Chain A
Amino acid sequence: MNLAMLLDEWRRTPEVMRHIAHWHVEPARIARHRDVPAWLHPDLRRALAARGIRQLYAHQAEALEAIRAGHSTMVVTPTASGKTLCYNLPVIDAILKDEAARALYLFPTKALSQDQVAELHELCGHLPSPVQSFTYDGDTPLHARQRIREAGHIVVTNPDMLHAAILPHHTKWLRLFENLRYIVIDEAHIYRGVFGSHVANVLRRLRRICEHYGSRPAFILCSATIANPEELGHLLTGEAITVVDRSGAPSGERHTVLYNPPLVQPELGLRRSSITEARRFGTRLVREGISTIAFVKTRTQVELLTTYWKADVPERLRHRVFGYRGGYLPNERREIERGLREGRILGVVSTNALELGVDIGSLEAAITVGYPGTVASFRQQSGRAGRRQGVSLALFIANASAIDQYIVQHPEHILQGAPEAARLYPENLLILTDHLKCAAYELPFSPDERFGVETTEELLSYLAQHRVLHQGRDGRFFWMADALPSHSVSLRSAAQDNVVIIDQTEARPRVIGETDRFSALTTLHEEAIYLHQSRPHQVERLDLENGKAYVRQVDVDYYTDAELAVRLQVLDVLDERGTGAARHQTGEVMVNAVPTLFKKIKFDTHENLGWGRIHLPEAELHTVGYWCRWDRRGIPWDNERWETALIGLAHVLRHASALHCMCALSDLHWAAEVRDPLDGQPTLYLYDAYPGGVGLADRVFRDVDEVLSIAREMVKGCRCEAGCPACIGPGRGDEDAKALVLALVEMCLADPGPAQAAAAMKGGV
């Protein structure tokens, strides 16, 4: 049975249709073409013709003209719309016209760059004169590096390599930096949050070095659909950005189906687990021979769902089902990607690791299990199914959370609604300072030089006081330490190193994955079950000091889930508003977290089998928070009611904030105090889960009315009566919970004065 027939079957099955909240069909769209511009070098036009390309899509032509006019340009069109040509053509054209010209390509991961280089080579293979492109990453052999530095017209690398290997050694890359014409940044939407904030600073360093060598490259960015391409491009590159976003590429008929699992306990708002439903739908699709990818949120879920699919599909298909996630080693991942491209693999369960443009060919069905946090991310995931022709299916399976329930009730949010904005915060003090050190190592700073922020000189003086820099007689700041600063700065994680996971099952221990330190507290504590390719491993020892976790394969039928105990303290109030019953504030907070205990949860039934204690040191986090304080004199509730209301609101506000700020739920944490130690008032905190903050809490503070409105809709729109896990979280059975939470929200929203004035002002900024 093919996909179109299966979809027909579903339409005719009431038991399925009953739980489908929305079924949207987007008809096939034909291409809009433009001629290949006559100004392109004739060799390049011939090479295109040799590849069978006689016309360009409209957006490609548009991008070419913008780039030719010297604008830094960002192309924002759907998956498989031919974005790669938008940068390859101008770059190759420039090199054909001036042999000295150079370009730098940045991809967020090594895997992506390998795919793109293969495509670039193919195009260049049709050229009569050589255009040299090379990948420069950790795998590049030492003997090849010299040649790449001298002769590579196009150097393909990733931000980490640029940060740690290229920029600190810029004098060896003289030719590149003197002649750099284009900097290409693909998958630009990945550069948000902490990683984006790092990368924006790396690009500041890159621009500084180009300036030193007298080049002024233009940026060409490509991105999945996001709301603020211009802003993202500008924050990343520091340049004004021309956006090209009207796709001329064709697409096949696609069905977007929003499925809301049935309620199993209406009063509590409990629904059938989304994983269980994904198990059922996925197995069916794979059994029909329909290539299917499922996106789940966590690594544990990858293992869980893979196990289920393997168990349920017929024996003959079992070896064609795989899990895929970060933490697998590169070879294993390459092998799975190849299997998908070649059609050998029929079903794959992945975290968002496969959201990126890793070339896995085009699949027929994509299942998104639980809202991935952003519209852009959802569209990336569903874009994995169906490319230029043929029917495709994007199936969204909601879970019981507030966000997911909001989505199924407001399908327009993911179907038509503008995708969210990609946020980054290059001014994070810690990140900025780290890169300021790296930049000073690379080139001395003039006291009047600006590195992103106006306070540059203040920071430089601070570093000079700490004997990291030395201010010379001419006032310039020079690096003054015998170490390479970039070695202690990782772009990917917080300020610390990763923990590698070592399997000791065999006589010869081997590394099977890695994770960041903060996650290690809750996933690699002793006795934790760590799943790898659906095989449970038990953690025997966690050596945080040396960054190693030792695991051994075990045969158990449960997984573990750890809890964190959190203490929070306000260090500094940076801004506040609201004078009435509720006061909103933002500022710096210190959070102390310690993992306390873990639960053992049975596969399949998800019942709790027991628990254990975790003995690990406390982790401390300095970050930025938003909080709201209520004057308890105005509201005559007892402590218990306050607690119910605060915890309920915290739950929904966190979801609403994640939705609004386009971040993962785990990027924002919350805490609630019925009597805050500071002034005894009921207080609700949201804070960024990264040292120094990444602008999320700050954004919640600025847009608090919008966020509160979403929260109110989430609660009001929920069909439960007294509050349920979907809207205000797993409460304690208080019958007034929902009303209490709504009362709190209304109180904030009704609060007149500065809040609204500020909201109005924000429109003009």
Chain B
Amino acid sequence: MARSLLERLAALEASVGRQRTTPAGEPGPASAPGHEFHPAVPGAGPASDASGPSREPADEPPPGALGMDGGTGGPRDDRPQPLDSRGRGLALLGFRPLAEGDSVWHRVLRYDLLTVHGRRRFADLLSTDLSAAARALKVEAVDPERLRFYDTETTGLGQGAGNVPFLHALARVEGDELAVHQYFLADHAGEPDLLSALLTEHLTGDALVVTFNGKSFDWPLLQSRLSMWRMPRPSCGHADLIHPARRLWRRHLGRVALAEVEAGVLGIRRTDDLPGREAPARYFAWLEDGVADGMEPVFEHNAADVCSLAVLLAVLADLLAGREPAATAEAWVALARWHDDWEAYDLAERCYERAAASPDADGRALWLKSLFHKRRGEWEKALALWARIAAAEPLAVPPLVELAKYAEHRAGDLDAAARWTQEAQARAAAQAQACAADPAVARRWHQVLDHLAHRLARIQRRRALGG
């Protein structure tokens, strides 16, 4: 008795150790997937706490307006749930179908600009000076009206052609509100419509897209989707806040992800937040059963992300514009180096001062400041710093080398140069001994020692010649 094609395939797959057809790497026998993802969130509230924004759909959709499944046709009969109940779930969350068809749903969450989010109001974006932030982000002038805070939720990781962003959030200033536009891909077929709405409504030529880690993830993925559907690429600018965030807070936060920045810098506490990595499973469950409740935490998470981006930009702008003091020596150093790069030396010096004066200042802050002075030819200040570091850190070699260089080449004091070099040699030798267990590090110290020996020999030669 011949088995059907599918029975054969099933048996074959089982025989090579694939319990189910999902890709390898997901062990475990065939269970009933899908439903295990279902959260028990009766009437899940907004993701953010009371101090955050509250969801205010612009207009409650009348439940009666959901009969849009009439004439689009297609093989619907085998859907697990009738379309209107799928649609109703989304409608209750404030979504409306985009144009005709019901593959793409759109909602706008509107927040008064005076809404407090973390330790800021959205309105701060309008009042702060964004020009320094623009320089730090390497974009042209930032006009608050043109900002598009952007984030996506995707079906997987990486940039492969099968990784689909199923939820896009764009926050922008509209009048006296921050409007969070969310586009939900309820059915893959609607992706071109979704992308075209993004392009025409939001990602226009003069827009500036602001993301967190978007340079390596969301933005190229969006380009990839546009290529896939043979659509034009947007010509708007793009600023990724992760780069300045890393410069300012890497040591302070340890790991620079949006959640850490929110908690450690922006004063935003999320409650009941869905971890981003669970979003794909929720979405797959939605495709199966069409129950919108399961998606609600994903929608909230996604909206909360872009709201945080708005606050993050405001905080960055204020730090860079000098309207808010930095909290750590690390942040002051970061600011100083920006100003240094931009040749705003007065500002840079002041930031270095603040870094050095900061209670958590370490040798690095002083050291960078000393190099700043050296570049500027401010030798007195530099010398004082080197002496200070050398005294404070009994094993530090570089400040002694700088002192030796100065004595040899600037002051012409060969005796002092020899003294500094010998002191540096003693310290380097001690370091080399201390690191003997780690050959790679020890080797570096021996290189340093070679350089120092070379320097000392030269100094002594010159001393002999010069008399």
**Chain B CB within 8 A of A620 CB:** yes
- Please determine whether A463 and B21 come into contact, CB atoms closer than 8 angstroms: yes
- Please determine whether B15 and A174 come into contact, CB atoms closer than 8 angstroms: no
B1-41 interface (Cβ within 8 A of A): 1-3, 5-6, 8-13, 15-18, 20-26, 33-34
Whole-angstrom distance between the alpha carbons of A322 and B23 in the complex?
A: 42
Residues of the B chain whose Cβ atoms lie less than 8 Å from the Cβ of A433? 9, 13, 21
- Please determine whether A483 and B76 come into contact, CB atoms closer than 8 angstroms: no
A459-481 interface (Cβ within 8 A of B): 459, 462-463, 466-468, 470-476, 478-481
The smallest C-beta distance from B74 to any residue of chain A, in angstroms, reads 5
**Chain A CB within 8 A of B114 CB:** no
A567-605 interface (Cβ within 8 A of B): 571-574, 588, 590
* Stretch of B155-163, B344-352, B357-365 that contacts chain A: B155-163
B157-215 interface (Cβ within 8 A of A): 157-162, 164, 187-189
- Please determine whether B16 and A430 come into contact, CB atoms closer than 8 angstroms: yes
- Please determine whether A480 and B17 come into contact, CB atoms closer than 8 angstroms: no
Whole-angstrom distance between the alpha carbons of A476 and B456 in the complex?
A: 77
**Chain B CB within 8 A of A64 CB:** no
Identify which of B17, B188, B288 contacts A478 (C-beta below 8 A).
B188
- Please determine whether A487 and B23 come into contact, CB atoms closer than 8 angstroms: yes
- Please determine whether A572 and B75 come into contact, CB atoms closer than 8 angstroms: no
**Chain B CB within 8 A of A442 CB:** yes
**By DSSP majority rule, is chain B's interface helix, strand, loop, or mixed?**
loop
Identify which of A168, A473, A481, A482 contacts B76 (C-beta below 8 A).
A473
The smallest C-beta distance from B275 to any residue of chain A, in angstroms, reads 14
**Chain A CB within 8 A of B224 CB:** yes
Of B11, B13, B76, B284, most A-chain CB atoms within 10 Å: B13
Residues of the A chain whose Cβ atoms lie less than 8 Å from the Cβ of B465? none
**Chain B CB within 8 A of A171 CB:** yes
- Please determine whether A487 and B188 come into contact, CB atoms closer than 8 angstroms: no
The smallest C-beta distance from A459 to any residue of chain B, in angstroms, reads 7
**Chain B CB within 8 A of A444 CB:** yes
**Chain A CB within 8 A of B103 CB:** yes
- Please determine whether B288 and A459 come into contact, CB atoms closer than 8 angstroms: no
**Chain A CB within 8 A of B66 CB:** no
- Please determine whether B160 and A472 come into contact, CB atoms closer than 8 angstroms: no
**Chain A CB within 8 A of B227 CB:** yes
Whether A170 touches B161, Cβ cut-off 8 Å, given contacts A462-B6, A481-B22, A488-B24, is yes
- Please determine whether B12 and A692 come into contact, CB atoms closer than 8 angstroms: yes
Residues of the A chain whose Cβ atoms lie less than 8 Å from the Cβ of B230? 213
Find the B residue at minimum CB distance from A591: B15
**Chain A CB within 8 A of B287 CB:** yes
Residues of the B chain whose Cβ atoms lie less than 8 Å from the Cβ of A571? 3, 11
**Chain A CB within 8 A of B399 CB:** no
Find the B residue at minimum CB distance from A479: B162
- Please determine whether A171 and B224 come into contact, CB atoms closer than 8 angstroms: yes
Identify which of A437, A459, A481, A482 contacts B5 (C-beta below 8 A).
A459
**Chain A CB within 8 A of B440 CB:** no
Identify which of A430, A459, A483 contacts B25 (C-beta below 8 A).
A483
Whether A488 touches B23, Cβ cut-off 8 Å, given contacts A472-B189, A691-B15, is yes
- Please determine whether A691 and B9 come into contact, CB atoms closer than 8 angstroms: no
Q: How many Cβ-Cβ contacts under 8 Å join chain A to chain B?
A: 149
Residues of the A chain whose Cβ atoms lie less than 8 Å from the Cβ of B227? 171-172, 174
Interface 1/0 per residue, A510-548 and B, CB below 8 Å: 000000000000000000000000000000000000000
Interface size on B, residues (CB 8 A): 54
Of B160, B164, B224, most A-chain CB atoms within 10 Å: B160
Whole-angstrom distance between the alpha carbons of A495 and B23 in the complex?
A: 12
Residues of the B chain whose Cβ atoms lie less than 8 Å from the Cβ of A479? 155, 162, 164
- Please determine whether A467 and B22 come into contact, CB atoms closer than 8 angstroms: yes
Find the A residue at minimum CB distance from B9: A429
Residues of the A chain whose Cβ atoms lie less than 8 Å from the Cβ of B127? none
A411-470 interface (Cβ within 8 A of B): 429-430, 433, 437, 440-444, 455, 458-459, 462-463, 466-468, 470
Residues of the A chain whose Cβ atoms lie less than 8 Å from the Cβ of B158? 484
Residues of the A chain whose Cβ atoms lie less than 8 Å from the Cβ of B297? none
**Chain B CB within 8 A of A347 CB:** no
**By DSSP majority rule, is chain A's interface helix, strand, loop, or mixed?**
mixed
The smallest C-beta distance from A627 to any residue of chain B, in angstroms, reads 16
Whole-angstrom distance between the alpha carbons of A622 and B8 in the complex?
A: 10
**Chain A CB within 8 A of B46 CB:** no
- Please determine whether B162 and A440 come into contact, CB atoms closer than 8 angstroms: yes
- Please determine whether B188 and A444 come into contact, CB atoms closer than 8 angstroms: yes
Whole-angstrom distance between the alpha carbons of A444 and B164 in the complex?
A: 11
Whole-angstrom distance between the alpha carbons of A717 and B74 in the complex?
A: 67
- Please determine whether A483 and B23 come into contact, CB atoms closer than 8 angstroms: yes
Whether A494 touches B16, Cβ cut-off 8 Å, given contacts A169-B161, A442-B161, A467-B34, is yes
Identify which of B2, B15, B33 contacts A574 (C-beta below 8 A).
B2
The smallest C-beta distance from B440 to any residue of chain A, in angstroms, reads 16
- Please determine whether A168 and B161 come into contact, CB atoms closer than 8 angstroms: yes
Residues of the B chain whose Cβ atoms lie less than 8 Å from the Cβ of A590? 15
- Please determine whether A466 and B188 come into contact, CB atoms closer than 8 angstroms: no
Whether A466 touches B20, Cβ cut-off 8 Å, given contacts A455-B5, A476-B189, is yes
Whole-angstrom distance between the alpha carbons of A161 and B155 in the complex?
A: 24
Identify which of A171, A481, A620 contacts B161 (C-beta below 8 A).
A171
Find the A residue at minimum CB distance from B160: A168
Identify which of B11, B17, B189 contacts A496 (C-beta below 8 A).
B17
Residues of the A chain whose Cβ atoms lie less than 8 Å from the Cβ of B294? none
Of B24, B157, B223, most A-chain CB atoms within 10 Å: B24
Whether A480 touches B155, Cβ cut-off 8 Å, given contacts A467-B34, A472-B189, is yes
- Please determine whether A458 and B162 come into contact, CB atoms closer than 8 angstroms: no
**Chain B CB within 8 A of A370 CB:** no
Residues of the B chain whose Cβ atoms lie less than 8 Å from the Cβ of A462? 6, 9-10, 21
Identify which of B16, B72, B161, B287 contacts A480 (C-beta below 8 A).
B287
- Please determine whether B3 and A474 come into contact, CB atoms closer than 8 angstroms: no
- Please determine whether B26 and A483 come into contact, CB atoms closer than 8 angstroms: yes
- Please determine whether B33 and A441 come into contact, CB atoms closer than 8 angstroms: no
Whole-angstrom distance between the alpha carbons of A443 and B228 in the complex?
A: 8
**Chain B CB within 8 A of A729 CB:** no
A213-261 interface (Cβ within 8 A of B): 213
Whole-angstrom distance between the alpha carbons of A572 and B8 in the complex?
A: 9
A164-186 interface (Cβ within 8 A of B): 168-172, 174
**Chain A CB within 8 A of B97 CB:** no
**Chain A CB within 8 A of B52 CB:** no
**Chain B CB within 8 A of A739 CB:** no
Whole-angstrom distance between the alpha carbons of A759 and B431 in the complex?
A: 86
Whole-angstrom distance between the alpha carbons of A488 and B18 in the complex?
A: 11
- Please determine whether A487 and B24 come into contact, CB atoms closer than 8 angstroms: yes
**Chain B CB within 8 A of A357 CB:** no
Find the B residue at minimum CB distance from A575: B2
Find the B residue at minimum CB distance from A442: B161
- CB-CB nearest 6 A-B residue pairs: A441-B162, A488-B24, A482-B156, A495-B16, A622-B15, A171-B224
Extra pairs beyond A468-B22, A480-B155, A494-B16 (18, CB < 8 Å): A171-B227, A213-B230, A433-B9, A441-B162, A458-B6, A462-B21, A472-B189, A476-B188, A478-B164, A481-B23, A481-B284, A484-B23, A484-B158, A485-B162, A496-B17, A622-B12, A691-B12, A692-B12
17 A-B pairs, CB-CB below 8 angstroms?
A171-B225, A429-B5, A443-B161, A459-B6, A467-B288, A470-B188, A471-B75, A473-B103, A479-B155, A482-B156, A485-B162, A495-B17, A496-B17, A571-B3, A588-B8, A622-B11, A622-B16
